[in-house]
A and B are shown apart, each in its own frame.
Chain A
């Protein structure tokens, strides 16, 4: 079976994307972090490392809550998407 990229996987999911971001990160803290647990915790690869800092894109978020609890610096301001937005599982 051909290896599926995370983009391929997220592309089949049903999302209703909000214009508001439901998870915010404190980039200043991330720049000083040498662990970057968020990169490995997020099953949707929403966190990416660029120029020593972390960027976050919320669109593929599966709302699992992993990033909220792994950050040792509490740099992740985690909330759920507004009601009616975000992932909508059709199987689950």
Chain B
């Protein structure tokens, strides 16, 4: 029976990055993907950031099925029917190499897997990896679709619900407090309509995040991403807080779609897909202590490599980067003919030296800070009320903004508590 140099489980961003990197160096790689095509089981909010993919596949966006390069970032506080926004755009984001893109996973993952295939990897779709094979203490392959598939090393890139990382003993059960649930609708419009509604005549797109009443004060937020001729509209909310308050994420999404700041922009959009997914958000607090074992590596969401800072929620670039690092460790192990943990630990060292674990370390206090409910209820409300007062011209003598703020804070939050929250924000984010 053929022993593969490496079996990669899951053809998402981590898996395809790993398989591509290994196949390019001439290794015999099998990618096992449970969907009927790569991407069939995957969804996300909608944007990919950073240079990590460009480093692997220069000018990938000219060939990949990207929707729009992101030229604008917008953050909005929602309170009742009010909305206070900050919008940023600059020449840096409008020039190549672009900072980020909106994309669809079903299209992007399929494309990325095809690149791995062109490099020589075998992509087996419609095949579910059920378990790892163990030989003595080491992992020696996988069990998939009733067959035993031996390999020198297995790289688990099987997503947030990773069965293999659990079977390999690297990870326990996910906890509801460690994940957010994302639900998303894709709304399609007639050609030109998205550009017209969002003023996107230069071909660029918007990454628009909302915080406040869109989650009824629960930790999380809402988003709108502009695609070529469609919008991705969704909410992301802490799963634990959802079930404990008896609120459904899809009800929050319906509320969000009816908010006056949103309703007119999405009016008439034809729903073409509804998707849901879990996002591991506890960073280092939930990451397995070791991301390697004898004959085994874990990457991407399966290893909980997601950065959530409140301003950013990024996972796909971390997935690609970890997939590449896993490939480098496998290449080293191949060269040294040693696939034990002793050699494969090089993977974790690479991650520690790269932005992946550095960013997670820098923001390790963020997951705890982002549990602070005032961020999602009181502060958006205060911001909107303050804006309301500042912009109101009612013929009465005006007050200084600072005085207005102190009046609005009275009985709701002390100056001391707000200052502490600000300091904590500064430390965590």
A55 within 8 Å of B (CB atoms): no
B42 within 8 Å of A (CB atoms): yes
Cβ contact of B34, chosen from A4, A10, A80, A91, cutoff 8 A? A80
Cβ contact of A92, chosen from B106, B127, B160, cutoff 8 A? B106
A84 touches B254 (CB 8 A): no
When distances are taken between beta carbons in the complex, the residues of chain B under 8 Å from A65 are: 160-161, 174, 278
A91 touches B250 (CB 8 A): no
Within 8 A of A (CB), among B311-331: none
When distances are taken between beta carbons in the complex, the residues of chain A under 8 Å from B35 are: 88
A89 touches B126 (CB 8 A): no
When distances are taken between beta carbons in the complex, the residues of chain A under 8 Å from B40 are: 87-89, 92
A13 touches B250 (CB 8 A): no
Report B273-287 CB contacts with A as 1/0, cut-off 8 Å. 111111000000000
Interface of A is mostly: loop
Of listed B44, B266, B272, residue having the most chain A CB within 10 A: B272
- How many chain A residues touch B (Cβ–Cβ < 8 Å)? 37
A63 within 8 Å of B (CB atoms): yes
Query: Which of the candidate stretches B17-25, B240-248, B333-341 sits at the interface with the other chain?
Result: B240-248
B128 touches A68 (CB 8 A): no
Q: What's the nearest-Cβ distance from chain B to residue A49, in Å? A: 12
B263 touches A63 (CB 8 A): no
Cβ contact of B272, chosen from A35, A68, A91, cutoff 8 A? A91
A69 touches B250 (CB 8 A): no
Cβ contact of A84, chosen from B105, B109, B126, cutoff 8 A? B126
When distances are taken between beta carbons in the complex, the residues of chain B under 8 Å from A64 are: 181, 276-278
Q: What's the nearest-Cβ distance from chain A to residue B32, in Å? A: 9
A70 within 8 Å of B (CB atoms): yes
A9-B274, A89-B41, A90-B106 known; A83+B243 contact, CB < 8 A = no
Of listed B43, B244, B275, residue having the most chain A CB within 10 A: B275
Interface of B is mostly: mixed
When distances are taken between beta carbons in the complex, the residues of chain A under 8 Å from B113 are: none
B243 touches A6 (CB 8 A): no
When distances are taken between beta carbons in the complex, the residues of chain B under 8 Å from A83 are: 34, 126-128, 145
Cβ contact of B106, chosen from A35, A40, A41, A91, cutoff 8 A? A91
Within 8 A of B (CB), among A33-89: 35, 37, 39-41, 43-45, 62-66, 68-70, 80, 82-84, 86-89
Of listed B44, B266, B271, residue having the most chain A CB within 10 A: B271
B176 within 8 Å of A (CB atoms): yes
A9 touches B250 (CB 8 A): yes
A41-B242, A41-B243 known; A69+B41 contact, CB < 8 A = no
- How many chain B residues touch A (Cβ–Cβ < 8 Å)? 58
A70 touches B106 (CB 8 A): no
When distances are taken between beta carbons in the complex, the residues of chain B under 8 Å from A80 are: 34, 128, 161, 163
When distances are taken between beta carbons in the complex, the residues of chain B under 8 Å from A39 are: 246
Q: What's the nearest-Cβ distance from chain A to residue B14, in Å? A: 16
When distances are taken between beta carbons in the complex, the residues of chain A under 8 Å from B39 are: 89, 92
A43 touches B161 (CB 8 A): no
Q: What's the nearest-Cβ distance from chain B to residue A29, in Å? A: 16
Instruction: Across the interface, name the chain A residue whose C-beta is closest to B42.
Output: A92
When distances are taken between beta carbons in the complex, the residues of chain A under 8 Å from B302 are: none
A13 touches B273 (CB 8 A): yes
Q: List 18 A-B contacts (CB under 8 A).
A: A12-B274, A37-B244, A39-B246, A40-B242, A44-B276, A45-B250, A65-B174, A65-B278, A69-B239, A80-B34, A80-B128, A88-B40, A89-B105, A91-B43, A91-B104, A91-B107, A91-B186, A92-B107
Beyond A92-B104, A92-B273, 5 extra complex contacts between A and B, CB < 8 Å: A35-B243, A64-B277, A68-B161, A89-B40, A91-B106
Q: Lowest 10 A-B CB distances belong to which pairs?
A: A92-B105, A43-B276, A37-B243, A9-B274, A92-B106, A83-B128, A65-B161, A92-B43, A62-B276, A84-B126
Interface residues of B (CB under 8 A from A): 34-36, 39-44, 104-107, 109, 126-128, 145, 160-161, 163, 173-176, 179, 181, 183, 185-186, 230, 239-240, 242-250, 254, 257-258, 263, 266-269, 271-278
